Amino acid sequence: MQVTVTEDGTFERLAPEIGSDTDDGEGFQCFEGSTIEVPENEGLGVIGPDQPI
């Protein structure tokens, strides 16, 4: 989803248009190969599986 900040400080959606051919669901557009898996420990400060939290 692409958004911009307007001059009055609000957010405005640029693309994809909801319900358009490029809307892959819930207003998002995901190109094949552009998604990733997020590990369970994401954000916990763990660098490796053998490192304690």
* pTM, to two decimals: 0.38
Cβ(27)–Cβ(38) under 8 Å?
Answer: no
Q: Distance between CA 40 and CA 4 in Å, rounded?
A: 31
pLDDT digits (tens, 9 = 90+) for 3-24: 899 999 999 888 777 778 877 7
Please give the angle made by the CA atoms of 5, 11 and 16, to the nearest 5 degrees: 100
pLDDT digits (tens, 9 = 90+) for 24-53: 776 677 777 777 787 776 666 666 777 765
By C-alpha distance, which of 3, 1, 21 is closest to 12?
3
All residues at 6 or more sequence positions from 11 whose CB lies less than 8 Å from its CB, including other chains: 3, 4, 5
